[in-house]
Amino acid sequence: MTKKRIGLTTTVPHEIIVAAGCVPVDLNNVFISAADRLAWLERAENEGFPAGICAWIKGIYAAVRAGCVDAVVTVLTGDCTNTRALAEVLRHRGVATIPFDFPSQPEPAAVRQSLEDLAARFAVSLQQAEQVRRQWIPLRRNLAELDRLADQEGRVGSAELHQWLVSASDFNGDAERFAAELGDFLSAVARRPILPPAVRLALLGVPPIFENLFAALEERGARVVFDEVPRQFAMPYDCADLVEQFCRYTYPYDSTPRLADLRREVDRRRIRAALHYLQAFCHRQIEHIIIRESLPVPVLALEGDRPGPLTGQTLTRLDAFLEMLL
Ligand code: SF4
């Protein structure tokens, strides 16, 4: 029997979806890796999405309209202010949606309730999802090793780190294959030369929509050794259970746990400076005020709108920022 494909508007406990015998599909990754992603944005706009709405939302909508999933888990709190309206439009188009809410605080009882609610919607128990979590412990440890190799040994490039971590939100729909491919990658990395020294950067914020950011950084002698939000998606740490795993996940909550994570990692990884990616028309841009004023390193805000290369103006700002660090 063909497994149901469940689209995700952001990272959720996909252990629950897999426990239910379904395939998780991160719609952000489908959109950004689609060859005709710009045409998808036009399609969403032709169907009525305003130009002044974030491209990721339009991309998610277009990915669903392209028929890649059977239903969509829509995260209504803890992610994006646009998702509630997106969910309504999807239902209006006849797409089944499954709501999920992160609690307002990473408080264990509240997180457990959120996870149990989602499990109930998939007709599985949290214990069944825990079995999947336990199966994935070696995989999460390998993601931690990837992160360590990037940070401590200079063996993983910025784009490689980003691609592996961002793909961990759904393990590309096949955790077994993902684990095997990651294991092969780590073995290959161990055999290849260490990368040249580079300015150690943190990349903060939602995944950049630029196509050449990492190449541009490395051409200029800089490397991302801390990729904040994709690392959060990957959850590369040992936990006692799913409740702890999702209490430690900083993305859905207010800035307090996030800043604690950022300060710790900036210090621990000897970060020289941070790039804060801001998506055009995203409410999260406002968080830049707190980030800029709370970190002990220089922070450059980079704004992007649609998929494509960095603009000349952005490259000029990046050059000036990196020159200041050298
Ligand atoms: S970038 Fe911001 S506005 Fe766009 S989908 Fe993500 S949270 Fe929503």
**Residue 35: predicted pLDDT:** 97
The alpha carbon of 144 and the centre of ligand 1 are apart by a number of angstroms equal to 26
- What pLDDT, in 10s, does the model give residues 49-80? 999 999 999 999 999 999 999 999 999 999 99
- What pLDDT, in 10s, does the model give residues 74-103? 999 999 999 999 999 999 999 999 999 999
pLDDT averaged over the chain? 97
ipTM: 0.99
Instruction: Please give the domain boundaries of the chain with CATH numbers for all domains.
Output: 5-134 (3.40.50.11890), 136-325 (3.40.50.11900)
Candidate from 9, 26, 57 with most ligand 1 atoms within 8 A of CB, to mutate: 57
- What pLDDT, in 10s, does the model give residues 197-237? 999 999 999 999 999 999 999 999 999 999 999 999 999 99
**Residue 326: predicted pLDDT:** 77
The alpha carbon of 80 and the centre of ligand 1 are apart by a number of angstroms equal to 5
Q: Is the CB of 280 under 6 A from ligand 1?
A: no
Two tokens, residue 128? 């069944």
- What pLDDT, in 10s, does the model give residues 237-272? 999 999 999 999 999 999 999 999 999 999 999 999
Give the mean model confidence (pLDDT) for residues 269-286.
97
**Residue 206: predicted pLDDT:** 97
The residue whose CA has the least distance to atom 3 of ligand 1 is 282
**How far, CA to CA in Å, does 33 sit from each of 37, 163, 199?**
7, 11, 28
Atom of ligand 1 nearest to the CA of 57: 5
The alpha carbon of 23 and the centre of ligand 1 are apart by a number of angstroms equal to 23
**Residue 140: predicted pLDDT:** 98
Residue keyed to tokens 């006849």: 94
Q: Cα–Cα distance between 74 and 88 in angstroms, integer?
A: 10
Give the mean model confidence (pLDDT) for residues 165-181.
98
Q: 258 in helix, strand or coil?
A: helix
Q: Is the CB of 80 under 6 A from ligand 1?
A: yes
